[in-house]
Structure 1
């Protein structure tokens, strides 16, 4: 694992560890079609003075394919098991195992995103006038008035979050 991918992972865990960020990210994921890993990556890039390039979609194709094939199906299975897990300890243990696998899949997605930054593919230096708000909006397919507060909470937390030490 590269230094950048480790730093991105640590940053993502730290930022997502704030209750308001987790809630905001899940709202943007479930209600606006955003990919949480991409959102956390964009926040991390901004802290480093970088941003997703205007043509980032082509470079994100492999990461998005990974998320579609592995992460989202694991998430769907975990969520589907929630009611049964509340009643059955064996199902609860299975659900926890799926949750661990989902987290591993998300870590792999973040590793792939960090590789893009390392290779300078799909990223560019932030310019005067570039904002985290604008970069995140480009990654959220169906942002609405109802999900705007979630975006604002994510931006506020990301702006206040210190970078983990190297």
Structure 2
């Protein structure tokens, strides 16, 4: 299954979204990257986690994080800004942010090898986090692993 479709299906589970957002907001993790690591474990796809991490780090710094910051900044009402216009603009930013996540996931998928026997999910998540240069957050990663299982 393609990464984007798989990610949409698993992210729809409330416990997966909650675990992903906890890792993003509480630990600075990139959700598409974590979902890619989980997908490649599920699919048994080999990949260079270091190459993927470098791609994600640049994308997050220059695209993902700035878009998320704009979307969050305009969430509350602003004095002097029409609420409907602000909300329409916020939705447009949200759509662009989502399209950006799709571009990133398609790029990560392109770095992945052919499917094979499934890999250990938690090990794949830990490998991805370590390749990104972040210390492993095993307890929080385990929550995501459990939600995906």
- The TM-score with structure 2 as length reference comes to 0.81
Runs of at least 5 residues in structure 2 that lack an aligned partner in the other structure: none
Aligned residues: 142
Map 1:1-166 onto structure 2 (within 5 A). 7-53=2-48, 56-84=49-77, 88-117=83-112, 120=113, 131-140=120-129, 141-144=134-137, 148=139, 150-159=140-149
Runs of at least 5 residues in structure 1 that lack an aligned partner in the other structure: 160-166
List structure 1 segments (4+ residues) > 3 angstroms apart after TM superposition: 123-127, 142-145
1:15·1:21 contact (CA, 8 Å) conserved in 2? yes
CA distance in structure 1 between the partners assigned to 2:67 and 2:106 by the alignment? 18
CA deviation profile, 1:92-123 (whole Å, cap 9, x unmatched): 11100000000000000001001001xx3xx9
Structure 1 residues 115 and 28 mapped into 2: Cα distance closer, same or farther (>3 Å)? same
1:34·1:139 contact (CA, 8 Å) conserved in 2? no
RMSD: 2.5
